[in-house]
Amino acid sequence: MMDAKKMLRAFYDRLFEFFGPQKWWPARSRFEIILGAILTQNTSWKNVEKAIKNLRSAGVLDYRGLKELSQRRLASLIKPAGYYNIKAERLKNFINFLSLEYQGNLTKMLKEKTLVLRQSLLKVKGIGKETADSIILYAAGKPVMVIDAYTKRIFSRHRLISPDSSYDHVQELFMDNLPKSPIFYNEFHALIVRLGKEYCVKKPRCDACPIAALKY
DNA sequence: GACCAGGCACATC
DNA sequence: GATGTGCATGGT
């Protein structure tokens, strides 16, 4: 096998060539990106869209709106996204964190140094590594690679990582071998999700997969 | 009706 | 540190 740098580069180039730029994250504001990151935990994006739409219709798609909203009412609005009781609690946990640490000022929060922000977010109950990294990359625009189920599935099927590799291990593979650019990580992760959704689901379509014939 | 989807916390070993 | 379980809706 080629070295990791060339392999990852070939992978990325092929995906970009095939799918083109993805223009991520699909949201209208940085605040909405964060809500989406929590709501999409182990959940299809289609269902998250319905939940976001409900929040928008209710006029609570901002810090103030969610802060005023009762957890009970919040849970009923996000029902389509599944796990609605737990997710309502997680959203409230984040709102409380933003309130206590940054007086509700999102811009202030996102200006933190990457590692400081990551450590802080990981202390919020309901925000794990992937959600924290999604917020840091897509809302704050800082260079962190997001590792999700698609990333692990695709790269383990190609025998480039072990199926039970840890989050940290896979993240290091990417970040130690690619330019530390938020624009690049943004596009790569979005392309991986696109490939995962369309070709590398649990019943894969390897015959038509754009990287099936890729040499690396 | 089974299976799956852009995780996470918690219990247990 | 690794492994197992609950959380829940909507689409295939």
Q: Which residue is nearest to nucleotide C1 (CA to C1')?
A: A166
CA-based radius of gyration for chain A: 18
Which pLDDT value is given to residue A202? 73
Which pair of tokens denotes residue A20? 């083109």
Q: Which nucleotides of C are covered by protein (CB under 7 A)?
A: 2-3, 6-11
Instruction: Give how far Cα A76 sits from Cα of A72, A86, A171, Å.
Output: 7, 12, 35
| Interatomic separation, CA of residue A93 and C1' of nucleotide C5, rounded (Å) | 23
Which pLDDT value is given to residue A89? 98
Which pair of tokens denotes residue A185? 């990580």
Residues 145-204 of chain A in contact with strand B via CB under 7 angstroms:
148-150, 193, 196-197, 201-202
φ and ψ of A25, to 5 deg: -80, 145
Peptide bond into A24 cis (omega under 30): no
Q: Which domains does chain A have, with CATH numbers?
A: 4-23+145-208 (1.10.1670.10), 30-139 (1.10.340.30)
User: Beta carbon of A47 within 7 Å of strand C?
Assistant: yes
Q: Whose C1' is closest to the CA of A46: which nucleotide?
A: C10
Q: How far apart are CA A171 and CA A184, in angstroms?
A: 14
Give the closest residue to A145 by CA, choosing from A116, A117, A176.
A176
Tens-digit pLDDT string for chain A (216 aa) = 568 999 999 999 999 999 999 999 999 999 999 999 999 999 999 999 999 999 999 999 999 999 999 999 999 999 999 999 999 999 999 999 999 999 999 999 999 999 999 999 999 999 999 999 999 999 999 999 999 999 999 999 999 999 999 999 999 999 999 999 999 999 999 999 999 999 998 778 888 999 988 887
pTM of the model: 0.97
Q: Whose C1' is closest to the CA of A48: which nucleotide?
A: C9
| Interatomic separation, CA of residue A92 and C1' of nucleotide B8, rounded (Å) | 15
Q: How far apart are CA A96 and CA A138, in angstroms?
A: 21
Which pLDDT value is given to residue A145? 98
The three state secondary structure string of chain A is CCCHHHHHHHHHHHHHHHHCCCCCCCCCCHHHHHHHHHHCCCCCHHHHHHHHHHHHHCCCCCHHHHHHCCHHHHHHHCHHHCCHHHHHHHHHHHHHHHHHHHCCCHHHHHCCCHHHHHHHHHHCCCCCHHHHHHHHHHHCCCCCCCCCHHHHHHHHHCCCCCCCCCHHHHHHHHHCCCCCCHHHHHHHHHHHHHHHHHCCCCCCCHHHCCCCCCCC
Which pLDDT value is given to residue A215? 81
Instruction: Give how far Cα A184 sits from Cα of A3, A12, A139, Å.
Output: 19, 9, 15
